[in-house]
Each structure stands twice: as structure tokens, then as C-alpha cells.
Copies of this chain bind each other. A is one copy, B any other.
Amino acid sequence: QNKFHRGRCFCADKGVDVVLLKNIEKFEIIPASPSCGKQEIIVTLKSAERKCMNPESKLTQNLIKRALGKMARQ
């Protein structure tokens, strides 16, 4: 599975495109910074596992917009 990169960035590879919204406990969106030159999206699953998601994937972006959308309809 995708490995976490010790040192500068969390995600060593591009990450996955799809994770089921119902399995997600938390999204972390980390904009690029001096310590890691690329933006990262890390999801913590209800199983406590953490996964990197591909920030450039439309599927990933739609997933986050869906999560945001749910908030708007609260």
C-alpha cells in the first residue's frame, strides 16, 4: 500500500484515487510548504489506517466536495 515518507513529505507516492466516504473519519489537506513541495491529502479511516489520496485526481476532489456539500446541508 502507499508508504509514508519519513522526512519531508507524508506521502511517498501519488496515493489512491478512491476511498469510500463512509469509511473516512478525517480528511487532512496539507498545502505545499517549504518542508514538502507538493500538496497532500491524507485520509484517516475509521479503522485508524491512514491513506494518501491523489490530490490531482478528479475523484479525490469530488469526494472532498461531497463531504463539504454534506456540511452545507446540515
Contact = CB atoms under 8 A, between A and B. Distances in A.
Nearest to A30: B26
Chain A interface size band reads 20 to 34
A25 B31 CA distance: 7
A17 to B, nearest CB: 13
Contacts of A29: 26-27, 29, 64, 67-68
A26 B28 contact: yes
Interface in A12-58: 21, 24-33, 38-39, 41, 55-56
Given A28-B26, A65-B65, A56 B33 contact: no
A40 to B, nearest CB: 9
